[in-house]
Amino acid sequence: MSDHIQSIDHSYGAASQQRNKVLRNTYWLLALSLVPTVMGAWLGVATGITQSLGGGLGLMVFLGGAFGFMYAIEKTKNSAAGVPVLLGFTFFMGLMLSRMIAMVLGFKNGPDLIMTAFGGTAGVFFVMASLSSVIKRDLSGMGKWLFVGALAIMVGGIINVFVGSTAGMMAISVAAIGVFSAYMLYDLKRIVDGGETNYISATLALYLDIINVFQSLLALLGIFGGERD
């Protein structure tokens, strides 16, 4: 009987160690992924390379690049190429984000708005990371509803690219902050509960949550708080 209990304790301890390792590696890679994002955003703003990517052309480049990278990450996540491919994706996302950042920098208080959006995103992440470690309830049932919400936001965003409605952008941004903040909690809880065992996949999921919350906060701050010269 005691041997059986010891075996259970050993198995639980090994599983706990594995979860902690995945979480630790995910946090390190997530922090590292912000470096190419900033580099991509800086390059895009400095060169203006993405300024011509408006409307349908920008949408095609973004969707093609994003889904291409995500497919490559999924294929290489168990190999040595996984991390470089993920970092390449985050550079691409920074480059795509540079168009909005350049627009916000056109405001007198542009740098302040960017730092506020960054601080707000970090705050959301901290809250969700804290919640994921204390909530005992299984949140796996949230997944399908969050996916539907994310899909609706993506479709709404694509339509608004062609419509160009400020009110539509505001509504989409508010919805995205809500959905991707909840997705952050869901993805973190999956790691904590042992549902996600690959730190590259875990990092990709959290990175997408963070970039969507940041972009949406920045859009709202630009609409409501942008000061013209």
pLDDT for residue 228 is more than 70: yes
Rg, Å, the chain Cα set:
19
Q: What's the average model confidence in pLDDT over 77-103?
A: 93
pLDDT for residue 11 is more than 60: no
- Reported as a single tens digit per residue, the pLDDT across 22-38 is 889 999 999 999 999 99
How many structural domains compose the chain?
1
Higher pLDDT, 5 or 103: 103
Residue 193 has what pLDDT? 87
* Those residues with Cβ within 8 angstroms of residue 181's Cβ, 6 or more apart along the chain or in another chain: 124, 128, 209, 213
User: In angstroms, rounded to a whole number, what is the distance separating the alpha carbons of residues 149 and 180?
Assistant: 9
Estimate to the nearest angstrom the gap between the alpha carbon of 165 and the chain centroid.
24
User: In angstroms, rounded to a whole number, what is the distance separating the alpha carbons of residues 88 and 104?
Assistant: 25
User: In angstroms, rounded to a whole number, what is the distance separating the alpha carbons of residues 21 and 205?
Assistant: 17
Residue 73 has what pLDDT? 94
Is the CB of residue 228 less than 8 Å from the CB of residue 107?
yes
Is the CB of residue 173 less than 8 Å from the CB of residue 220?
yes
Name the packing angle between helices 110-134 and 82-105 (round to 10°). 140
Which structural domain, as residue segments, surrounds residue 61? 2-225
Structure tokens belonging to residue 202: 């875990």
pLDDT for residue 14 is more than 80: no
Structure tokens belonging to residue 213: 């919350």
The pTM for the full model equals 0.89
- Reported as a single tens digit per residue, the pLDDT across 154-211 is 999 888 888 878 888 999 999 999 999 999 999 999 988 888 889 999 999 999 999 9
